[in-house]
A and B are shown apart, each in its own frame.
Chain A
Amino acid sequence: MKATRKPMPIMAHMIPFFPDLPRSHRVARALIDGGARYLEIQFPYSDPTADGPDIQGAGAQALARGFTVRAGWDFIASLREGDGSPEQTPLFVMGYAGLVFAHGIDRFVARAAELGVEGVIVPDLPLDSDEGLLEAGARHGVNIVPVIALGAAPHRVALVHEARTRYIYASLRRGITGSHTDIGEENIAFMEELGSRGARVLAGFGVATAEQVRAVTGHAHAAVVGSAFVRALRALEQEADNAKADPADHDPDPYGRVRALVERLTGLEARNGPD
């Protein structure tokens, strides 16, 4: 069913156990089948200080539905087993310092390595006080992905360059809340600067349309799309709730909706269009 055209590279964000465990498996499947270049799998945390309201709400729901770190690893393991594509979709695990530290940084990274995870992202363990995260990554052969935000001081950007990581995660917005991110001159210069020494720049925050993906991927390795998927899943839940005659009716399979969204975002859907 895949178009022969090359999809624009996105890193699609998802949370295991959101909306619940079985449906989050379907979401992951749809993201992979729909052509997401990478998956960012966020382990939800009780106090997610850098999440916007959509992702925070989804994380809280996932915790209420039974997410544990062990279940998160099981989710990744089953994703690996179920991925029949010739080139397995690389998986990144994102988690907050509180959760990673509580489980032991070395143990956390080691477990990621065992499961073939491509990278670990911990936004609140900055490189100059990372509790040994970067070293653990080197020890176990997992990429540690530093996060840097638009407007960061030059000495912070330099710190990221000096770490010589394979990937850099760039937040294209100064704040956390808000809705739309303009990909203007400032953002473009930021992405170009981050990629100037050869690192693969994963750039996002507020990227939710194919136009934005196109604009970002012109200057970065891949565009990160996060809350757009959460919002789509929320909308689906809402519609289902409204349509339910009987509360015992089955919740809908999110596969179709999510896959359509990925295809739209990566430009696959417009396969009859020009070029």
Chain B
Amino acid sequence: MKSKNETGPLPGYFGEFGGRYVAEVLRGPLEELDAALGLLDRDMEFWKLLGRIREEYIGRPTPLLFAENSTRALGGARLFIKLEGLANTGAHKVNNAIGQALLAQRMGKSRIIAETGAGQHGLATAAICAKLGLECTIYMGEVDIARQRPNVFMMELFGARVVPVTSGSRTLKDAVNEALRDWAASSADTHYIIGSALGPSPYPEMVHRFQSVVGKETESQLHDRGLEPHVLVACVGGGSNAIGFFSPWLERDVPRLVGVEAGGRGVGRGDHAARMNGLGVPGIVQGYKSLFLLDGDGQVQETHSVSAGLDYPGIGPQLAALGTAGRVEFARATDRQALEAVSFFARHEGVVFALESAHGGYQAMELARTLSPDQVVVVNMSGRGDKDLFITARELTPGPWRRFLLDEAAAIPAPAEAEE
């Protein structure tokens, strides 16, 4: 009853990575999900409905922009940007959230739970639950709630219940643990929408499938313009935007596929969230085997990135396998470099990258500089940067931003006074 997967020797595996390492309480819900996924191939109604929502609600296809000014400024390869961040709710996350929410409805579930770090996946999930009329609970680390207040507000605006997670490091990975716990008790009426291409099988392959729309679109948009890509670049936290973006080319030898991880403040322990190129070690965490950042005693290490969406200790198992096999190359961009890319593309293209996606953006700039003008580099701007206003404005213009916030705070009466 395991899900199908052609790339690995065993069902649910990608090379040595993946699998389903869960306590028995979670086995039943995962097998139920396998069964539901097995029915999807022949469920034409499902794909028709998903296609309509993609067009009417997400706003697909998202554009492929020729970054003409950037290309000229960088002086090398022609640079294209897949503007995935123009998707409704601001990032690629919605592709997966909608696919899984529709699947949940097919399975007769009336309640959705999800974890979120930066809030993008939680926001996409809350939005689609509002649209489909599903009850929605979002688990979010207390630390993330504190630093992502705007997204908490949005989720609540969509009618979701946002539950603060106070265990562990009180960030994304702890929110995953809490959601798994909820699901173990509630799976009779509840579906858990994991936000990235990781977790126990069948999540990695399911999320990949729902995100592959990004790559398929890009392929046909390039084809329409008679272009052959030489390098594709995407940021990698868990890796759902990257795996979806790379999807059509995974079984081919070209183009080069480059994943960019969070280099944070440096390569010291706890200073970054990069698992590839020797920084991570094989481990089994949160139900799947992959490469993780662990401390010397095997405990999961705390990570750092300016972008909350990349601030996670594990990488999706399929990307780990593709990286180990050499099909996908991995690079790192630091916090500073990501901010530099945000400024660069804002200035040259009138496009604001999310901090996560800007890690890919920085690497794309580097590649465009060094490759020749007859070559084509495509970077996935998986999210747009509006959500990062409170981080980028503080970093780039601290003085005026501080004054603005102080004035804003002063203008709001304390709640007790407001009621009087």
Query: Is A60 in the interface zone, CB < 8 Å from B?
Result: yes
Give the CA-CA distance A102 to B284 in the complex, in Å.
Answer: 8
Give the CA-CA distance A175 to B284 in the complex, in Å.
Answer: 22
Whether B27 pairs with A152 at a CB distance below 8 angstroms is yes
Whether B168 pairs with A177 at a CB distance below 8 angstroms is no
Which B residues between 144 and 194 are near A, CB-CB below 8 angstroms? 167-168, 173-174, 177, 180-182, 184-186
Whether A47 pairs with B177 at a CB distance below 8 angstroms is yes
Whether A101 pairs with B297 at a CB distance below 8 angstroms is no
Contacts of B285 in A (CB 8 A): 47, 98
A47-B300, A174-B25, A176-B185 given; A102·B294 CB < 8 A: yes
Whether B25 pairs with A149 at a CB distance below 8 angstroms is yes
Binds A, one of B16-24, B233-241, B355-363: B16-24
Contact of A102 among B24, B27, B281 (CB under 8 A): B281
Contact of A101 among B173, B186, B283 (CB under 8 A): B283
A176-B181, A177-B181 given; A49·B287 CB < 8 A: yes
Whether A174 pairs with B299 at a CB distance below 8 angstroms is no
Contacts of A163 in B (CB 8 A): none
Contacts of A189 in B (CB 8 A): none
Whether A97 pairs with B284 at a CB distance below 8 angstroms is yes
Whether A147 pairs with B21 at a CB distance below 8 angstroms is no
Whether B286 pairs with A49 at a CB distance below 8 angstroms is yes
Interface string of A141-156 (1 = CB under 8 A from B): 0000001110111001
How far apart are A94's CB and chain B's nearest CB, in angstroms? 11
Contact of A149 among B21, B24, B173, B281 (CB under 8 A): B24
Max chain B Cβ within 10 angstroms of own Cβ: one of A47, A97, A101, A151: A47
Which A residues between 113 and 158 are near B, CB-CB below 8 angstroms? 123-126, 129, 131, 147-149, 151-153, 156
Which B residues between 282 and 301 are near A, CB-CB below 8 angstroms? 282-287, 289, 294, 297-300
Give the CA-CA distance A82 to B23 in the complex, in Å.
Answer: 33
Whether B299 pairs with A63 at a CB distance below 8 angstroms is yes
Query: Is A46 in the interface zone, CB < 8 Å from B?
Result: yes
Max chain A Cβ within 10 angstroms of own Cβ: one of B19, B31, B177, B180: B177
Interface string of B305-347 (1 = CB under 8 A from A): 0000000000000000000000000000000000000000000
Interface string of A175-207 (1 = CB under 8 A from B): 111100000000000000000000000000000
Give the CA-CA distance A151 to B286 in the complex, in Å.
Answer: 22
Whether A98 pairs with B181 at a CB distance below 8 angstroms is no
Contact of B298 among A50, A102, A176, A178 (CB under 8 A): A102
Contacts of B59 in A (CB 8 A): none
Whether A171 pairs with B25 at a CB distance below 8 angstroms is yes
Q: How large is the interface on A (under 10, 10 to 19, 20 to 34, 35 or more residues)?
A: 35 or more
Q: How many pairs, one residue from A and one from B, have CB atoms within 8 Å of each other in the complex?
A: 112
Query: Is B28 in the interface zone, CB < 8 Å from A?
Result: yes
A63-B299, A68-B297 given; A47·B168 CB < 8 A: yes
How far apart are A57's CB and chain B's nearest CB, in angstroms? 7
Give the CA-CA distance A226 to B185 in the complex, in Å.
Answer: 18
Which B residues between 248 and 306 are near A, CB-CB below 8 angstroms? 281-287, 289, 294, 297-300
Whether B25 pairs with A50 at a CB distance below 8 angstroms is yes
Contact of A126 among B21, B167, B282, B294 (CB under 8 A): B21
Max chain B Cβ within 10 angstroms of own Cβ: one of A46, A57, A70, A123: A46
Give the CA-CA distance A9 to B287 in the complex, in Å.
Answer: 33
A68-B297, A102-B283 given; A49·B24 CB < 8 A: no
Contacts of A227 in B (CB 8 A): none
How far apart are A173's CB and chain B's nearest CB, in angstroms? 8
Which residue of B has the minimal Cβ distance to A123? B23
Which residue of B has the minimal Cβ distance to A155? B1
Contacts of B289 in A (CB 8 A): 101
Whether B167 pairs with A57 at a CB distance below 8 angstroms is yes
Contacts of A149 in B (CB 8 A): 23-25, 27
How far apart are B19's CB and chain A's nearest CB, in angstroms? 5
Give the CA-CA distance A147 to B21 in the complex, in Å.
Answer: 13
Query: Is A48 in the interface zone, CB < 8 Å from B?
Result: yes
Interface string of A48-90 (1 = CB under 8 A from B): 1110110011001001000011100000000000000000000
Query: Is A92 in the interface zone, CB < 8 Å from B?
Result: no
Contact of A129 among B20, B180, B181 (CB under 8 A): B20
Contacts of A46 in B (CB 8 A): 168, 299-300
Whether B298 pairs with A103 at a CB distance below 8 angstroms is yes
A69-B297, A99-B298, A102-B298 given; A50·B27 CB < 8 A: no
Whether B21 pairs with A125 at a CB distance below 8 angstroms is yes
Contacts of A151 in B (CB 8 A): 28
Give the CA-CA distance A99 to B21 in the complex, in Å.
Answer: 13
Give the CA-CA distance A46 to B297 in the complex, in Å.
Answer: 11
How far apart are B232's CB and chain A's nearest CB, in angstroms? 32
Query: Is A17 in the interface zone, CB < 8 Å from B?
Result: no
How far apart are A176's CB and chain B's nearest CB, in angstroms? 5
Which residue of A has the minimal Cβ distance to B185? A175
Contacts of B294 in A (CB 8 A): 98, 102
A46-B168, A60-B167, A174-B184 given; A69·B23 CB < 8 A: no
Contacts of A178 in B (CB 8 A): 185
Contacts of A60 in B (CB 8 A): 167-168
Whether A49 pairs with B23 at a CB distance below 8 angstroms is yes
Query: Is A18 in the interface zone, CB < 8 Å from B?
Result: no
Give the CA-CA distance A47 to B173 in the complex, in Å.
Answer: 8
Give the CA-CA distance A149 to B26 in the complex, in Å.
Answer: 9
A46-B299, A49-B180, A98-B298 given; A156·B167 CB < 8 A: no
Give the CA-CA distance A123 to B283 in the complex, in Å.
Answer: 16
A49-B23, A97-B21, A177-B182 known; 4 new pairs, CB 8 Å cut-off, are: A98-B294, A126-B27, A174-B184, A175-B181
Residues of chain A at the chain B interface (Cβ within 8 Å): 45-50, 52-53, 56-57, 60, 63, 68-70, 97-99, 101-103, 123-126, 129, 131, 147-149, 151-153, 156, 171, 173-178
* Complex A-B, nearest 3 residue pairs according to Cβ-Cβ distance, in ascending order: A175-B185, A102-B298, A50-B23
Can you offer 7 A-B residue contacts whose CB atoms are under 8 A? Answer: A45-B299, A47-B168, A124-B23, A129-B21, A152-B27, A153-B27, A176-B25
